Amino acid sequence: MQSLTFEIGKYRAWLAGLCVRSLILAALIALSALLADRPATAASCGALTGKALYDCAATYLDSKADMIGRVRGDPEAPVAARALQTAASQLRAATSKVQALSAITQARSAISGIIQQARSGGRDSQGWGRLIGALSEMASLIQKKG
């Protein structure tokens, strides 16, 4: 007859292995989420110029608008998503650097207003600040290469 202790030890090792694999998977998911959330417009659109750059930036803004639009419980999220969608459509229609920069400037202005509303309501506005940073990076890229 086998010992019950031996059986418990076998399951304990199996469970420990499962926990380690789960932790590694969670760390990889967290790392990929951090990398995906970076304002990577320079990396993804940096080699482009002109209309291709505007379209790439518009695609980036559309993805951010979609991500922000899915946020529940934040009263500023729908307004921010609409501002980014508007900027994306203006970027796609832009034929000059001035039009592209105007679209980015309008989006930055709308997001700045959202930051002020969040602060006056006592809510956290750090996420919106990162979005302003991404828009600033995008404007800089358009100024250099647009």
pTM score, whole prediction = 0.67
The residue extents of the domains of the chain are 1-37, 41-145
The per-residue pLDDT for range 94-143, each reduced to its tens digit, is 999 999 999 999 999 999 998 898 888 888 777 788 889 889 999 999 99
Measure the CA angle with vertex 94, ends 140 and 66; round to 5°.
Answer: 75
Please state the separation of Cα 110 from the chain's center in Å: 17
The per-residue pLDDT for range 8-50, each reduced to its tens digit, is 666 676 666 666 666 676 555 655 555 444 444 445 787 888 8
CB 114 within 8 Å of CB 80: yes
As a whole number of angstroms, the distance between CA 21 and CA 16 comes to: 9
CB 67 within 8 Å of CB 115: no
